[in-house]
Amino acid sequence: MMLAETNLSIWGWGSLVVLLFLITFGPFAIFYFAFYILCSVGGGFVVTLLFGKTNSEKYLEQCEHAFLPPTSFGINKCIEEMKEESKPIKIDRRLTGAYIIDEPLQQIIQFSLRDYVQYWYYTLSDDESFLLEIRQTLQNALIQFSSRTKEIDWQPYFTTRIVDDFTTHLRVFRKAQQRISERDDQIKDGAEDLVDTFFEVEVEMEETICRDLVCTSPKDEEGFLRDLCEVLLYLLLPPGDFQNKIMRYFVREILSQGILLPLINQLSDPDYINQHFIWMIRDSICNYEAFMNIVKVSDKIGELEAVRDKATEELQYLRSLDTAGDDINHIKNQINSLLFVKKVCDSRILRLQSGKEIDTVKLAANFGKLCTVPLDNILVNNVALQFFMDYMQQMGGQAHLFFWITVEGYRVTAQKQLEVLLNHQKDGMHQTTQTKGLLRTAAVGIYEQYLSEKASPRINIDDPLVAKLEEKLNNEDPTPEIFDQIQRKVYELMLQDERFYPSFKQHALYVRMLAELDMLKDPSFRGSDDGEGESFNGSPTGSINLSLDDLSNVSADELIQLHACISDTVYADYDPYTMAGVCNDHGRTYALYTITVQRRTATANDEWKTYRRYSDFHDFHMRITEQFENLGNLLKLPGKKTFNNMDRDFLEKRKKDLNSYLQLLLTPEVMKAYPTLAHYVYDFLENKAYNKEKGDFARKEPPLMQKTYVDPKHCRVSAHLDDNKNS
C-alpha cells in the first residue's frame, strides 16, 4: 500500500515537473536541452584538442633541436638545375646552303613533326626540349645527306646505271610476257602467274638476286624497309644519336612505317598511276601522228574498241551540229579524221581477232629477204633506236651506243651554246669564261664516264686517240667537234663488229623493229626472190635503193619529169609580201615559200611558181603519209619552234630542209615506188590556192620529239636552191 503510494507520488511529482518545464520553456525545450548538452561536450573536446596540439608542437620542436640533424630536401645539383630557368635552344636553319631549298625542307620537317610526333607527345608533356632535339637531329641528318650527295658523280649514275636497271626490268618483264604467251591457255593463270614468271626470269638473268619476297610479302617488305632505314641512319646520324637505341628505333619506325611504306603503296596504286597519266595527257595532248602510231601498234582489243566507240560518239555529235555557216569545212575535216581513226581501229581489231599478227619466229628464218635498215637510220629513228638499244644491252655493248648518243647531245648543246656566246659578244655581253667552263665540264664528264681508266664500263678505243683527246681537254678550249674522231671509231666498231650491227640484223628484235616501222607488209620493202636484201633510208639525206621490180615494165620516157625547188622566202612584214600574195590572217603574220616548179614531158617544158606556207607543207605531208604509210619512215618534215618562228636565220634553215624534203620526194625511185603519189604532188605544186584537208584536230599539236636535223649538203637532190634572191 505504501509502495503504491510512493510510486504514485513519484509519477505525480515527475509529471508536475514536466508540466512546469513545458509551461516555462515551451514545447521545444527538450530539443534545446539536448543541443545544450551536445555543445557542452563538443566544446570540451575542442579545448582538449587545441591544448594537446600546442603542447605536442612545443615538445616536437624541443626534440628536433635537441636530438636529430636537419633533413635534406633533395640532391643539390638537381635542385639548382630545376631552379634555373630553361634557356631557349638556338637552331641553325641552314641545311644545304641554298635558301630556295632550305625553306621547303624546313617546312617538311615542321609538318613531319606535327603529323607524326606532336599529336601524341603533347598528351604526355608540354616541354618543348624533346621536339627541339628531334628537329636538331633531323637537320643534322639532312646536312650530312647534302654533303654526301655533293661527293657523288651523278652523271654516270643517271645516264648509265639507272638506264641499265630500268631497261633490265623491262627486258625481264617482256621475257616473262613472252614465256606466258608461249604456254597453253589452260596453263595460264592471270596476274599471279605473270608475277611468278617474272621473278623466275629475274633469277635466270640476275643469277644471284631475286626480289620476290620483298615485292610480294608485306612482312618482308616492312623488314627490308627497316633495314634500309637502319643503314641510312648509320650513314646520316651523328655517332652519339645512333648509339641511342631508343632514339634510333623510334626514328626508324617513323621513317619506315610512317613515310616510306605509305609512299610506296601510293606510288604502286594503279588508280594513282592512272590518274597521274590522265593528268599528264590532259596538260600535253598527244599529236595526231603519235596517236595514230599508238593505235596502229596496239595489241589490246579492249583499248581499240574504246577508241572506236569514242570516235563514233564524237562523229554523232558533229553530225548533229548545224552545218550552216563558215564552220562547215572545219566540221567536215573533223568528221573525215574521225572516220579515218574509226577505220584504222576496225582494221586493227579485225587483224588481232583473225590472228594475223606478225610471226617473228617464222620471219627470222628468212632474214635475207627482209629490208635492210642502215645503221645511220637506226641511230636517228626513235623507234628503231629503242630496239637496237635493247639488243646492245643484251650483247654487253650498250656503252658504245650510249657514248655515241651522248656525244651527239654534247655536239648539239655545244653548238647552241657557242652560237649564244657569239651573239652575246656581238651585243657587248661577255660570258666567255662561264660558257667555256660549262662545256669543258661536260666534255670532261663524258671522257671520265666512257674513256678514262676509271670508267666502268670502258670503251675499248685506241690509246693514242684517247691520249690525244685528253691532251685537247687539258690544253685547248672545248669545241663541238672534239669527240668526232673517237665517235667515228665507235660508229665503225658498231657497224663492223659481228657482235653488234651485223648480228642485230639476224636477231628477232630486228624483225620486231621492222614490224613497228610497218616495213614488213609493203611490197616495195620486201626482199626479192634471189635473197638479196633491200636498203631502207629513214633519213631525208641518204640514198634510196628500193626494189623496183614491180615497175620494170614502165619506161623512163613515159614518166613525167618533175623538178621543184624553193627559190625564195617572202616575209609577211616586208614590202614584197603584196607581190607574193602573202596576206595578214587575223593579225598574224607568216612567211611564204616561193617554189619554182619545172615539168618536162616528151613534147613540152613548163615552168611556174607557186607559193606555200609551212602549214601547207605539214598538211601535204600528213595526207601522203596517211595514204602511203611507208613514206612516214622515208620523209621527215622539219619541225617547228615554240618561239621565234619568224626569225630570219630559222626561216633560211627551214627553207633548206624543205628543199631537201622536196628533192627526196621527187626522186624517180619514190615516184615509181608509189605511182598514185603523183596526183597528190601535182595538186600540191600547182599554181593555185592549196586546199587543206586537215583541220586543227590533226595539225594543232607539234610532234612529240624534234626531228633530227642532218646536214642537207649530203642529200642527193635533182634541183638546187636559188640563193641569188634575198628577202
- Give burial (CB, 10 Å; 0-12/13-18/19+) of 190: exposed
Higher pLDDT, 362 or 573: 362
Average pLDDT over residues 371-384: 82
pLDDT over threshold 60, residue 186: no
pLDDT at 224: 92
Give the separation between CA 396 and CA 458, rounded to whole angstroms.
Answer: 11
Cβ neighbours for 157, distance < 8 A, ≥ 6 positions apart: none
pLDDT at site 172: 85
Phi/psi for 620 (5° steps) reads -65, -40
Give the residue-averaged pLDDT of 637-645: 63
pLDDT at 347 over 50: yes
Dihedrals φ, ψ of 29, to 5°?
-65, -30
Q: Which of 135-139, 571-575, 577-581 has the lowest mean pLDDT?
A: 577-581
Q: What is the pLDDT of residue 540?
A: 31
The answer on pLDDT for 577 being more than 50 is no
For the record, the C-alpha cell of 120 comes out as: 601524341
pLDDT at residue 572 greater than cutoff 50: no
Question: SS3 of 438, please?
Answer: helix
The rounded percent of the chain whose pLDDT value lies above 90 is 4
* Least confidently predicted of 247-256, 355-364, 389-398, 415-424: 355-364
Which residues, listed in sequence order, are joined to residue 564 by a DSSP beta bridge? 597
pLDDT of res. 308: 92
Query: Where residue 637 falls among pLDDT bands split at 50, 70, 90?
Result: confident
What pTM was estimated for this model as a whole? 0.44
Residue with cell 617482256: 174
pLDDT digits (tens, 9 = 90+) for 382-420: 778 888 888 888 888 888 888 888 888 888 888 887 877
Would you state the pLDDT for residue 578? 34
Q: What is the mean pLDDT of residues 239-263?
A: 86
Predicted pLDDT of residue 380? 82
Report d(CA 265, CA 242) in Å as an integer: 28
Closest CA to 89 of 39, 44, 127, 146: 127
Higher pLDDT, 189 or 157: 157
Instruction: Determine if the peptide bond prior to 239 is cis (ω within 30°).
Output: no
pLDDT greater at residue 409 or residue 550: 409
Instruction: Please state the rounded mean pLDDT for residues 19-27.
Output: 76
More confident residue, 341 or 352: 341
> Taking CA 629 as the corner, what is the angle to CA 625 and CA 631, rounded to the nearest 5 degrees?
65
pLDDT of residue 228: 92
Per residue, the 3-state secondary structure of 18-64, as one string, reads: HHHHHHHHCCCHHHHHHHHHHHHHHHHHHHHHHHHHHHHHHHHHHHH
Most confidently predicted of 10-24, 232-246, 539-553, 626-640:
232-246
Q: How far apart are CA 406 and CA 408, in angstroms?
A: 5
pLDDT-based confidence at 309, cuts 50/70/90? very high
Mean pLDDT along residues 421-430: 63
Do the Cβ atoms of 694 and 524 come closer than 8 Å?
no
**pLDDT the model gives residue 74:** 60
Higher pLDDT pick, 504 / 2: 504
The residue type at 156: P
Round the average pLDDT of the chain to a whole number and report it.
Answer: 74
Lowest mean pLDDT among 76-85, 404-413, 580-589, 704-713: 704-713
Cα 153 from Cα 468, distance rounded (Å): 24
Which ranges of 284-320 does DSSP label H, i.e. alpha helix? 288-297, 301-319
Position 429 pLDDT exceeds 60: no
d(CA 613, CA 636): 17
Which segment of 273-287, 631-645, 684-698 scores lowest on mean pLDDT? 684-698
Q: C-alpha cell of 502?
A: 651485223
* Whole-number pLDDT of residue 720: 31
Grid coordinates representing 698? 590533226
CA–CA distances in Å: residue 497 to residues 7, 16, 509:
150, 147, 18
Angle between helices 301-319 and 328-353 (to 10 degrees): 160
Whether 405 and 411 have beta carbons less than 8 Å apart is answered as no
> What average pLDDT does range 374-384 have in this prediction?
83
Residue 335 confidence (pLDDT) above 70: yes
The amino acid occupying position 246 is I
Please indicate whether residue 532 or residue 670 has the higher confidence score (pLDDT): 670
Instruction: Say which residue, 123 or 68, is predicted with more confidence.
Output: 123
Alpha-carbon distance 232 to 249, whole Å?
12
Higher-confidence residue of 328 and 256: namely 256
